[in-house]
Amino acid sequence: MAHLQHGTVPSQYTAYLKHKRLFLLVCTLLCLVLLLAALGLGPAKIPPIDIIQALLGTGDSPRNHAIVWNMRLPHALAAVIAGAGLAAAGAAMQSILRNPLGSPFTLGISQAGAFGAALVVMTLGAVGASGQALSFLNLSQSLVTTLSAFSFCLVASLVIVALARLRGATPEVMVLAGVALGALFSAGTMFLQYFADDVQLAAIVFWTFGDVGRAGWSEVGIMGAVVSVGTLYFVWNRWQYNAIDAGDETARGLGVRVGQLRIVGMLVCSAITAVIVSFLGIIGFVGLISPHIVRRFIGDDHRFLMPASCLVGAALLLAADIVARLIMAPHVIPVSVLTAFIGAPAFIYLLIRRQRR
């Protein structure tokens, strides 16, 4: 108190802030390095200086310019946006539900979005045969797909929120409920696949393998807008999330509307998950492990946890995309395969560590 009375900041708090800001700086630099690597590595390798020239439009190689701007840059930005969005949604869900195992994938929300996307594929395919219904809406298929994915993500989110309000609903119970929801929506997707024709089946499978390679500039723009707004909402409510971490009663005592914060937060998580799933497919475990990586370095303070989780999620998905392109070149592995190989052992580790506690 003496420090505060004299208008000075305690040295321990200054060191506390310095450590967290240093971690954010390191994560930012790591993302920039990985972004440069993602633009340069592939079947056609491009040196860093040529990448910079292509980005600035000063290079004399139309080939490099076309590769960077038409192929690799939208894919890399999609990885950054999707990784950041899933990580932000995961960090928010873990706080909102007070569940360290929460994420869009582990709680079945991603699978719900994939079912919504698959349902639109079947519906629009059937409509295409008749050639009439839905045409009056004057909506693109991408928008309809996103809205359908959001609707089913919302249903799954509301079920999870309802379970979180039950007495005795431990994190393990909620995860098991998420597994059940995921299995239910996956079964629905398989049911649609069984009755789909060849074209519809190929389009549905399109969503079961999450991959950033299918993103173009329009998808990057839409995802960027939704993820940016959602992440800003989470950052804006950082103090409320810190209060919730101390318990619902403490948060209410500090003036936090806990119920409203949970509902709106899950709505935002649903919107972020829906737009990513509808464009890129299911990408698992990024939203689960990114916040835990950050917590091991800088703790639970959401002022720093949220932006750091976004940076770590972006770095993870960028790294996975690079490895997916190189590990079996010239074949490209869906990035969701690599995130599952990384995330599944991490998920098991978190379960074991929680059980020991």
pLDDT tens readout for residues 80-136: 999 999 999 999 988 888 878 778 887 888 888 888 888 887 876 544 333 344 443
pTM: 0.85
Q: Helix 286-298 to helix 73-96 angle, to the nearest 10 degrees?
A: 70
Reported as a single tens digit per residue, the pLDDT across 281-304 is: 888 888 888 998 898 888 888 889
CA distance 256 to 248: 9
**Domain range spanning residue 146?**
18-127+139-352
C-alpha torsion angle, residues 107, 111, 116, 120 (rounded to 10): 170
In-domain check, residue 54: yes
Per residue in 319-342, pLDDT tens? 998 888 888 777 778 888 888 887
66 within some domain: yes
C-beta separation of 285 from 316 below 8 A: no
pLDDT-based confidence at residue 139 (cuts at 50, 70, 90): very low
Structure tokens at 209: 């393998």
- CATH number, domain containing residue 325: 1.10.3470.10
Question: Token match 């499978």: residue?
Answer: 205
Residue 273 within any structural domain of the chain: yes
- CA–CA distance, 181 with 66 (Å, rounded to integer): 43
CA distance 186 to 348: 21
Residue 1 lies in a domain: no
Asked if residue 133 belongs to a domain, the reply is no
Domain count, the chain: 1
